[in-house]
């Protein structure tokens, strides 16, 4: 896939509009609202809460950051993230967030791929590996077991988010676990909200003992085919340093860089 710079800028603008400024909640119990000059999602209990989009400048940024800090304190929000993109303004927004008590996590690369092309990838699973759709709590627990081994951390909030979608919004998610016999070795999901132009690829974690065998590529192709069936033109990924080169080889293009700024209190 080759997309020229002007077209990439247009895709990024559509992404900002559809997936950030006009975002829909990513879980049944979540709420998205525009407050002041930011768009914020809040989730009761364990789940993702944070700023998705902002329209700030040098005069308005500090006051809007302070308003979010006040919201966190007033509502006793335990986890809150300001998802900053490199093209967000003002240019020193990251420094202002740090000064207010937010801590940056490792940067991720915002990447996009053409669904129709990626759905045509021919990828065979490694010998003995099969794909199991996730349709219930047991399947979600298999995903979380892989996640803990792949990323070295347990995330109960993520479990509740995925389980809520599998249970209450199955039309918005397709999750899958790669099984080697009875052992889960990789897992991933694609989120596809009705009416969207972007299907989000999430997870993609593989047990370290099973890396380098093409499973990540297999899961990308599998999810691309699911998105193609829905007529969704683009696949979007927040890629880690490990996954970015794989995705580039598959044909994904870079839209920019995003850094999660997490409230440290």
- pLDDT score for 4: 74
- pLDDT score for 2: 63
State the DSSP string of 168-189: H-GGGEEEEEEEETTEEEEEEE
- pLDDT score for 137: 97
Q: Identify any residues that bridge with 191 across adjacent strands, giving them in sequence order.
A: 173, 200
Among residues 219, 226, 228, the alpha carbon closest in space to that of 247 is found at 219
Mean pLDDT by 10 residues, the chain (265 residues): 79 96 88 97 85 98 98 91 98 98 97 96 94 97 94 83 91 96 96 93 94 95 97 96 93 96 91
- pLDDT score for 1: 57
Instruction: Determine the length of the chain.
Output: 265
CA distances in angstroms from 199 to 51, 112, 115, 149, 178, listed in the order given: 20, 10, 9, 25, 20
State which H helix or E strand residue 142 sits in.
helix 137-151
169: Cα separation from own chain's centroid = 17
d(Cα 136, Cα 167) in Å, to the nearest integer? 7
In the chain, the domains with their CATH numbers are 5-109 (no CATH), 113-256 (3.40.630.30)
- pLDDT score for 173: 96
Q: What are phi and psi of 134, to 5 degrees?
A: -100, 115
- pLDDT score for 47: 76
């Amino acid at each position: 896939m080759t997309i020229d710079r002007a077209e990439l800028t247009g895709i990024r603008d559509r992404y900002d509009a559809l997936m950030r400024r006009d975002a829909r909640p990513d879980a049944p119990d979540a709420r998205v609202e525009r407050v002041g000059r930011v768009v914020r999602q809040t989730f009761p209990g364990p789940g993702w809460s944070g700023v998705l989009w902002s329209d700030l400048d040098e005069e308005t940024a500090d006051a809007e950051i302070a308003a979010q800090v006040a919201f966190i304190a007033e509502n006793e929000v335990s986890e809150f993230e300001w998802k900053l993109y490199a093209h967000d303004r003002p240019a020193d927004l990251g420094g202002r967030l740090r000064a207010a008590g937010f801590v940056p996590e490792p940067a991720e690369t915002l990447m996009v791929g053409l669904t129709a092309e990626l759905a045509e990838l021919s990828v065979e699973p490694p010998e003995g590996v099969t794909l199991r759709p996730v349709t219930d709590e047991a399947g979600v627990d298999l995903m979380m077991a892989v996640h803990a081994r792949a990323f070295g951390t347990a995330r109960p909030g993520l479990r509740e988010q995925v389980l809520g979608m599998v249970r209450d919004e199955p039309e918005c998610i397709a999750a899958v676990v790669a099984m080697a016999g009875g052992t889960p070795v990789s897992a991933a999901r694609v989120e596809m909200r009705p009416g969207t132009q972007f299907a989000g690829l999430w997870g993609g974690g593989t047990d370290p003992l099973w890396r380098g065998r093409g499973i990540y590529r297999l899961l990308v192709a599998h999810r691309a085919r699911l998105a193609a069936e829905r007529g969704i033109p683009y696949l979007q990924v927040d890629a880690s340093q490990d996954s970015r080169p794989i995705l580039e080889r598959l044909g994904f293009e870079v839209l920019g860089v995003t850094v999660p700024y997490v409230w440290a209190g």
